[in-house]
Amino acid sequence: MTLREDALHASYRRRERPLYNVLYRQLWQAEDCQDVIHDTYLRLWARRARVREATLDALVWRTALNLARNRLRWRRLRRHEPLPALPAAEEGADPLAVQRLHAALKALPGTSREVLLLARFGGLTGREIAAALGIRPGTVASRTHHAMARLRQLLGEAGHE
């Protein structure tokens, strides 16, 4: 059954904010995040004959994360590293602490960063994260554990609490 236009719009309204928050901590550029979200939904609309509403959200996450990885790969190939712009909501926070956190997130492997961000901002269960990443739920749990440990190590939690 063909995906309906109103179902796609409803998914967009539901997922835009969590997508933006996850993607921002991958791409660090608001415009890139908007483009990825836009391209994600446009791609799913182009394939609407093969998309089921029941699996739409998982497909949205999977497509968005793939497009974000492509952008990061493109940047590495072009040796293009944009200066991260601090969004308005973070401007009030301690800039040094935020900068350290950003640096630590960037230093994490992409797969580790994704599980942490999906859990923190995606509002997804372990099973939903597994569906979005195409991995087993058990892998999500172990990856999250190791990712958090690595993040704390990078932040030097013992010395910065």
Partner 1 sequence: MSDPLTRLPDLAPPPGGLPRLQRAMRRRSPPLRGSWRLPVAAAVLAAAMLLALVPSLHRLMQVDADARAIRNLLRTPASGQMQVRDGVAAPLESGRADVQLYLIGALPAAAPPPPG
Q: Where are the alpha helices (DSSP H) in the chain?
A: 5-27, 30-46, 56-78, 88-91, 95-107, 110-121, 126-133, 137-155, 157-160
Amino acid in position 5: E
How far is the C-alpha of 45 from the C-alpha of 38, rounded, in Å?
11
133 or 147: whose CB is closer to partner 1?
147
Exposed, middle or buried by CB within 10 Å (0-12, 13-18, 19+), for 16? Answer: middle
How far is the C-alpha of 116 from the C-alpha of 146, rounded, in Å?
10
Instruction: Work out whether 16 is an interface residue with partner 1 (CB under 8 A).
Output: yes
Among 7, 72, 104, 141, binds partner 1 (CB under 8 A): 104
Instruction: Work out whether 146 is an interface residue with partner 1 (CB under 8 A).
Output: no
Residue span binding partner 1 (CB under 8 A) among the ranges 18-26, 49-57, 58-66, 132-140:
18-26
State which of positions 33-72 bind partner 1 (CB under 8 A): 33-34, 37-38, 41-42, 45-46
Number of residues that bind partner 1 (CB under 8 A): 39
Can you say whether residue 87 is alpha, beta or left, with left for phi > 0 and alpha for psi between -120 and 50 degrees?
A: beta
78 or 160: whose CB is closer to partner 1?
160
SS3 label, residue 88:
helix
Residues that bind partner 1 (CB under 8 A): 5, 8-9, 12-13, 16-17, 19-21, 24-25, 30, 33-34, 37-38, 41-42, 45-46, 87, 89-90, 93, 97-98, 101, 104, 116-117, 120-121, 148, 151-152, 155, 157, 161
